[in-house]
Structure 1
Amino acid sequence: MNTTTKKHALSLVVLAGGLGSRFGGNKQIAEISGLGCTIMELSIADAVAAGVTQVVLIINQAVRSEIEQTILPRLAANIDVVLIEQHTNLVPKQFEQLAQQREKPWGTGHALLCAKDVINNPAIVITADDYYGASSFKLLSEHFKHQGNWAMVGYPIIDTLSGEGGVNRGVCQVENNQLLRIVEYLNIQQQAGQIMGDNPAGVREGIAKDALGSMSFWGVTPSFFQYLEQGFTAFLQQYDTAVKMEYYLPDQIQRAISTKQQAVSIYRAQESWYGVTYKSEFVSVAATLYKLRH
């Protein structure tokens, strides 16, 4: 494993620090039957094919040994790989007391912030348990060859629902191929031919059938980390850990958009997204991915 932090044309940050509470275990390291690898490894291979030369894995301590022994030896030898553990005590000094009371990770915004010291160039940010399709990595790789602003790939909400229960999705509002806003809806399901979800006010309402969802496929530059740092401090000042609030990555993207400090280009996914929220979904998703890769 090479842990250098030299300048790269394009990096990949994989958020794999979640505990997978609904899944009932560490879904990030669950192998796909017949392929002998994890969903995360498929994404890494797709990213490398699109031009990524540095991979940063944000993990929890419980899976470090297995990742080092099993997954890292299977990765391409010509990429720089950095392992970073997301710990609840990685907070500004004045909030150390809060960190002692925290049990679960702080969320996706904090997870990415953990990579601040090793990202010196544009980076694609994904989650470990989602399969995005090779074309999505190519879209953002091409984006950064020509543009310097942030970007994302959005997936049709209707294609990201689960038959096992409601899902939470960030629904994108788009204008002229630019992201205007992401609205977080909870418990999204199809009901009587409509897509329904609970909006931020807790009101259940319809979601457009052609709406794009944020499946955490982002393209960012090093400047993003100052937003993450400022936002995390504000988050810790506002919330008590007893509330168990999470510091969400999309919220900080939104803050930059709202203050006119950053434009975010949005690209429509060319392939289907496959993800695992519930353990019962893993077998069917794994079987689909096996077919796609053969």
Structure 2
Amino acid sequence: MSKPTLLVLAAGMASRYGSLKQVDSFGPHGETIIDYSIYDAIKSGFGKVVFLIRKEFETIMREKFDEKLKGKIEVDYAFQDFDLRKFGVDRDIVREKPWGTAHAVMSAKDNIHEPFCVINADDFYGTDAFQKMGLFLTTEVSDTHMSLIGFKVGNTMSDYGYVSRGVCEVTPEGNMASVKERTNIYYVDDETTKHKKIVYEEDGVQYNLNADSRVSMNFWGFTPKVFEVALDMFPAFVEENSENLKAEFFIPSVPDYMVRHGLADFKVIPTSAKWFGVTYKEDKPIVQESISRLIENGTYPEKLF
């Protein structure tokens, strides 16, 4: 079996962060969060990294990554744009916001022909997650058996505002029964316990969310079969949402569809790792401090590449 590929979703404009966080420095020698993910991926047996970006990011991304990764892992680029015709939609829809993370994944369909893992550029997942995913993609994966890394939602929160997570229902066998993208998860004060609790908001109503609930952090293990399914789903999504300029075709909708229609099962690979990432500018010093601790305990070398 060929080595798996790492697909890094790095096309976002980082509106809540205020700058291009994909290339922001967090490590002691200017390392980005992506650098740590690629370092873990290489150690876990991945053979290629594909950056999914906007075309206007290409120069800065190549300057940041091409030279340092030369000879260490194959590097490729795919581009997310607004041309819907290559995805089976025979008309143009004018909008400023991209069509979402599943559309981003589809944009890499011509670059990936082997089992692959999808991650966000601005999320720090940790060594354990990459080792488990690398093992799955080289020993278990098939067109009818795919996976995701399941984090506890309580280990994935930001103290500075809301986050988006794919909230999973998990069967007793450890497979995903369903997944629903929740785009507004945050802390509130619990007047009964005097502690913070986690809620998500939908249509203006708050719902409690157990801190141990497994969530997707867009860390999925796929085969190229997922491109075929997403391409089948996308035209209908566009037609249903052509007037909603904020509608997004999220990754979790594709695995959820595949499970509901018996096309594949998705193993929820549990990790107790504490995620950290940069949704807000205030998150940056926390991420830097967390990386410093991981360097001090020997998880990462001081200089990655």
TM-score scaled by structure 1? 0.91
Q: Tell me what 1:89 maps to.
A: 83
Identify which of 162, 168, 174 aligns with 1:166: 162
Does the aligned pair in 2 maintain the 1:136–1:270 contact within 8 Å? no
Instruction: Write the letter of the residue equivalent to 2:153.
Output: I
Q: Tell me what 1:57 maps to.
A: 51
Q: Residues 142 and 33 from structure 1, CA distance in 2 versus in 1: closer, same or farther, beyond 3 angstroms? A: closer
Does the aligned pair in 1 maintain the 2:185–2:200 contact within 8 Å? yes
Q: Deviations over 1:220-249 (max 9, x none)?
A: 001111111011111112111543211111
Count of aligned positions = 285
Identify which of 33, 37, 43 aligns with 1:39: 33
Q: Tell me what 1:146 maps to.
A: 139
Q: Deviations over 1:165-214 (max 9, x none)?
A: 12222211101110111123343223213221114x55311111211111
Instruction: Write the letter of the residue equivalent to 1:66.
Output: I
Does the aligned pair in 1 maintain the 2:4–2:138 contact within 8 Å? no
For 2:115 and 2:243, the matched residues in 1 are separated by 32
Give the C-alpha shift of residue 127 in structure 1. Answer: 0.6
Give the C-alpha shift of residue 134 in structure 1. Answer: 1.1
SS of the residue corresponding to residue 211 of structure 2 reads: coil
Give the C-alpha shift of residue 90 in structure 1. Answer: 4.5
Identify which of 165, 182, 185 aligns with 2:182: 185
For 1:283 and 1:62, the matched residues in 2 are separated by 28
Q: Tell me what 2:235 maps to.
A: 233
Q: Tell me what 1:280 maps to.
A: 282
Q: Residues 18 and 95 from structure 1, CA distance in 2 versus in 1: closer, same or farther, beyond 3 angstroms? A: farther
Does the aligned pair in 2 maintain the 1:59–1:83 contact within 8 Å? yes
* % identical equivalent positions: 31
Give the C-alpha shift of residue 61 in structure 1. Answer: 2.4
For 1:180 and 1:245, the matched residues in 2 are separated by 24
Q: Residues 78 and 220 from structure 1, CA distance in 2 versus in 1: closer, same or farther, beyond 3 angstroms? A: same
- My pick for the range that moved more, 159-168 or 184-193, is 184-193
Q: Tell me what 1:4 maps to.
A: none
Give the C-alpha shift of residue 33 in structure 1. Answer: 4.5
**Does residue 1:212 correspond to 2:214, yes or no?**
yes
Comparing both structures, which one devotes a greater share of its residues to helix? 1
Q: Residues 63 and 243 from structure 1, CA distance in 2 versus in 1: closer, same or farther, beyond 3 angstroms? A: closer
Does the aligned pair in 2 maintain the 1:95–1:236 contact within 8 Å? no
**Structure 1: tracts of 5 or more residues without a match:** 1-6
Q: Residues 78 and 8 from structure 1, CA distance in 2 versus in 1: closer, same or farther, beyond 3 angstroms? A: farther
Give the C-alpha shift of residue 9 in structure 1. Answer: 2.1
Instruction: Write the letter of the residue equivalent to 2:200.
Output: G
Instruction: Write the letter of the residue equivalent to 2:269.
Output: Y
**Does residue 1:197 correspond to 2:200, yes or no?**
yes
Instruction: Write the letter of the residue equivalent to 2:114.
Output: N
- My pick for the range that moved more, 46-55 or 276-285, is 276-285
* Runs of 4+ off more than 3 Å: 90-96
Give the C-alpha shift of residue 129 in structure 1. Answer: 0.4
Instruction: Write the letter of the residue equivalent to 1:182.
Output: V
Q: Tell me what 2:268 maps to.
A: 266
**Structure 2: tracts of 5 or more residues without a match:** 297-305
Q: Residues 202 and 182 from structure 1, CA distance in 2 versus in 1: closer, same or farther, beyond 3 angstroms? A: farther
Does the aligned pair in 1 maintain the 2:5–2:112 contact within 8 Å? yes
Q: Tell me what 1:224 maps to.
A: 226
TM-score scaled by structure 2? 0.88
